[in-house]
Structure 1
Amino acid sequence: MTKIRVTKQFGFEMSHALTNYDGLCSNIHGHSYKLQITLLGEPLESAGDPKDGMVMDFSVLKKLVKKYIVEPFDHSLMINDIAAHEKLTELGELYRRQHLVNFQPTTENMVIFIADKLKKLLPEHLELFSVRLYETNNSFAEWFASDNP
């Protein structure tokens, strides 16, 4: 059977700050992120099945990514938990949608986080092929399954 890649694109707004960074990104600032998720699989061959010919129904992929990635991240603040101290506690009173993570919230680390989460949620007949996250219109990071056996 022929393997096919299917990709769905998403968008969300999120702010972050880079702890101990030596530039402006050490301040809380935001981005309009664009996320592309690519799956690899074989199209279903089952005449009469409503999903016949599909690797995965795009609407199913949309629901999965929106629920576990987009909705939690959208209009939130992501900060490395090593920066968690009194000031962040005060921020918590102002900003309810915070993510304290155990990594520097760079685009590179975010694609690893997203890939790890999605791999666990996909049906076993599908493979997460890649995750691409645009931080700006012309800057992105990519994760490929083939690079991470």
Structure 2
Amino acid sequence: MKDRHWRTRYRVGGYEVWGTSLDSEERRRHAPYAEPADIGLYLDERWRGETDARTPYFVYWPTLEAPVERSLLVRRIKEAAAALENGATVEVACFGGHGRTGTVLCCLDVVLGGTTAHAALERIRREYCHYAVGSADLQHFLFDVEKELVPRAPEPLPAGETC
């Protein structure tokens, strides 16, 4: 049986994010000791009606392929990163807490940890769960979206040109 995650803590940069699976026994028992997250980023429609985050966000992403709502997902990842920087707690969740959740945790690592997508992928499998980002489509998406997540420096003007 694969690992299940109930607010598994994962460090991205200097921040802690929670990875959660819908099918976690601890979640099913409602773990009364757990404080809800400020922001919840839910990547599976089965979470509707199941969340306890103070502000839940849903991104339609029904399979372990590339996300259907890519631009919305990128925006939500950047918003989650900004929320973490402002002291919020953030939970990322899908059904099993591995594929989609692992992919978003890697994306947050790219944004906040200043790492590459390749390094983020190696680290998440070592430190969070070896099942994370478990399909070729998810890996391809992670490597492809990296350029959208990392702010680029402005291009220098050609020699002799001014604004």
TM-score scaled by length of structure 2: 0.30
Q: TM-score, normalised by structure 1?
A: 0.32
The structure with the greater share of residues assigned to strand is 1
* Larger gyration radius, structure 1 or structure 2: 1
More helix by proportion, 1 or 2? Answer: 2
